[in-house]
Amino acid sequence: MANQELIKIFSEMATFLKIKEVLFKPQAYERAVLGLEALNKEIREIYQQRGIEGLKEIPGIGENLANKIQEYLKTGKIRSYQKLKKEVPINLEELMAVEGIGPKTIKSLWSELKIKNLRDLEKAARAGKIRLLPDFGEKSEQNILIGISFLKRSQGRFLLSEILPEIQKIISILKKLKEVEKVSLAGSLRRGKDTIGDADILIVSQDPKKVIKTFVSLPGVAKIWGQGLKKVSIRTKQGFDVDLRIVTRQSYGSAQQYFTGSKEHNIFLRKMAIKKGLKLNEYGVFRDKKIMAGKTESGIYRAVDLAFIEPELRENRGEIEAARLKKLPKLITAKNIFGDLHCHSSWNGGQNTILEMAKAAQARGYHYIGIADHTKFLRIENGLDERQLLRQRQEINELNKGFAKRSIAFKILQGCEANILKDGSIDINDHALKNLDFVIAGIHSNMKMTRSEMTVRIIRAMKNPNVDIISHPTGRILKRRDEFQIDFEKILRVAKETGTILEINSSPSRLDLKDFYIKLTKEAGVKMVINTDSHAVNQLEFMDYGVTQARRGWAEKEDIINCWPLEKLSTPFKD
């Protein structure tokens, strides 16, 4: 998608310009990136319909950048970007990914030690060369090594959100071929994992040659790893691999089951089959040589006396036992969601007004939206103070009156995303918090604390009678930052006591709580809420990622408060 590619190019150009110490232009490129991220349309479409003028209406895009976008759409390249890359031959993507490293650090590492990529960086750090540079010391060298080790752990993995939309596009093209009878996702993508190694697609077709030919000649294909009649592997221009497998109609179900995994789930399942005198493989369930099942996935599970297990549960975390006992959860679905309780507006960091956000929520069929803007500690996001919250209340009251007048069954709730300060106190006074419909509190500073300090800090926040929800409770950023150390069991005990709700943040790079913690939370009887943390109307779509994560954590609609109707919603809120 051109949007994503342009976002990447402009962000890199911003960094290149910072390295070159160009003033102000970097910020302009960064603002353009914000504008592109908030776009809910294909930029190619905007350009085709309205040309340069259409591009210039995007916030942050003026004459110059509009021309660059045009150049990219026409030629696939931007000359000034190529020129920057030539002048500064550094792998920015790799180096910027290391936490704590920014443009200035990259510049001095490059000029002093000729460091161009992650490998050079690691070598220099291990050799103790970095600590000798001016403005560096042992600690910064150590932090670089820690950052690299984190990156290595997430190496080669992509966010679900980076891959899923691209694969859905491929699938919709394949589906249109008359030679294609059936298409399915498989692998970790189908299980909805937060990060994905490579994508798997299954196809039933009587004419594989034609299907394969179409697949390998898609415009997004960068490289073909291998190509047979049953399997093709390619790498996309975005850098991830896709395996396409062609299977027969008779073994479609067993292939789906086999290739969806997880490996651990399948091993357990095969052992079960053996105990029943059956053999399970990618072609079907067999008793001796007789095929017992294979066409459908549910048939496979039935053949081994199990209820159908949803792909998101197949991680060998007790789902097979639950299926045997008919005690599988009735997983939440996107349709169960009635509203989104963590949305930002143009009152602070958001791109859209409260009304625009509310209308977008209505378009999704929601009954309510919670505006939860940042509060004053976060100056960068224009965090609101007590007085501004009051003024915002007035605006929300007016908007709600407007809906009531026009008999629109929809309500805007006023919340805030307050900050849990270092000592666990909240950056807004209790009186102002009381005036809100609900209060989210989250950690946005001092993330490097010991496990016990951090636990105490969050517990103190939960004990504040005005705090209803803890946002992104573990602070992880996928592929960038580990979760902070907390005693999660202890936090669950206090959450249960205080009736505090834990957030499942749907932002694709957070997905925090993660699946494992969601399951623990459910088992502890603590309620959750699935929020998008949207900073623009198009981000309301992130809800699907949060729901998938919740499903992976065995959540049912009773566990998630924004599956509840508005009338019931005030009950979980403390004041």
Partner DNA sequence: GCCGTTTTCGGCCCGACTGTTTTCAGTCG
Where does this chain bind DNA (CB under 7 A)? Answer: 23-25, 27-32, 35, 56, 59-66, 80, 99-106, 131, 134-141, 143, 377-382, 422, 444-446, 448, 477, 481
Nearer to DNA, 134 or 277 (CB): 134
* Contacts for 515 with CB less than 8 Å, ≥ 6 apart: 194, 315, 549, 552, 553
Closest distance of CB 108 from DNA, Å: 7
Dihedral sign (CA 396, 397, 401, 402): negative
Residues 446 and 430 sit within 8 Å (Cβ to Cβ): no
Task: Give the distance, in angstroms, between the CA of residue 232 and the centroid of all CA atoms in the same chain.
Answer: 28
Q: Among residues 54, 2, 47, 7, which one has the least CA distance to residue 29?
A: 7
Task: Give the distance, in angstroms, between the CA of residue 211 and the centroid of all CA atoms in the same chain.
Answer: 31
Nearer to DNA, 62 or 365 (CB): 62
Cα distances (angstroms) measured from residue 210 to each of 122, 186, 235, 528? 46, 21, 19, 48
Nearer to DNA, 70 or 238 (CB): 70
Nearer to DNA, 238 or 446 (CB): 446
Nearer to DNA, 336 or 352 (CB): 352
Q: Which helix (H) or strand (E) holds 244?
A: strand 241-247
Closest distance of CB 2 from DNA, Å: 17
Closest distance of CB 518 from DNA, Å: 22
Residues 236 and 166 sit within 8 Å (Cβ to Cβ): yes
Closest distance of CB 484 from DNA, Å: 11
Beta pairing, strands 241-247 & 279-281: unpaired
Closest distance of CB 391 from DNA, Å: 16
Closest distance of CB 463 from DNA, Å: 21
Nearer to DNA, 61 or 174 (CB): 61
Nearer to DNA, 287 or 422 (CB): 422
Residues 136 and 486 sit within 8 Å (Cβ to Cβ): no
Q: How many CB atoms lie within 10 A of CB 24?
A: 7
Nearer to DNA, 357 or 378 (CB): 378
Nearer to DNA, 355 or 524 (CB): 355
Closest distance of CB 358 from DNA, Å: 22
Q: How far apart are CA 183 and CA 201, in angstroms?
A: 7
Closest distance of CB 185 from DNA, Å: 31
Closest distance of CB 187 from DNA, Å: 30
Assign 3-state DSSP to the chain and report helix, strand, coil percentages, each to 5. Answer: 50, 15, 35
Closest distance of CB 342 from DNA, Å: 14
SS3 438: coil
Nearer to DNA, 56 or 213 (CB): 56
Produce one character per residue of 485-497: b if its CB has 16 or more CB atoms within 10 Å, e if not.
bbbbeebbebbee
Residues 375 and 442 sit within 8 Å (Cβ to Cβ): no
Q: How far apart are CA 424 and CA 97, in angstroms?
A: 30
Closest distance of CB 181 from DNA, Å: 46
Residues 371 and 562 sit within 8 Å (Cβ to Cβ): no
Q: How many CB atoms lie within 10 A of CB 445?
A: 11
Burial class (CB in 10 A: 0-12, 13-18, 19+), 296: middle
DSSP-assigned letters across all residues of 455-498? HHHHHHHHHSTT--EESSTT--BTTTBPPPP--HHHHHHHHHHH
Instruction: State both tokens at 539.
Output: 């981000």
In this structure, what are the phi and psi dihedrals at residue 97, rounded to the nearest 5 degrees? -70, -20
Closest distance of CB 540 from DNA, Å: 20
Instruction: State both tokens at 456.
Output: 């105490």
Nearer to DNA, 101 or 511 (CB): 101
Q: Which residue is associated with the tokens 């980076």? A: 162
DSSP state of 384: B
Closest distance of CB 347 from DNA, Å: 12
Nearer to DNA, 147 or 208 (CB): 147
Q: What is the CA radius of gyration of the chain?
A: 26
Nearer to DNA, 90 or 244 (CB): 90
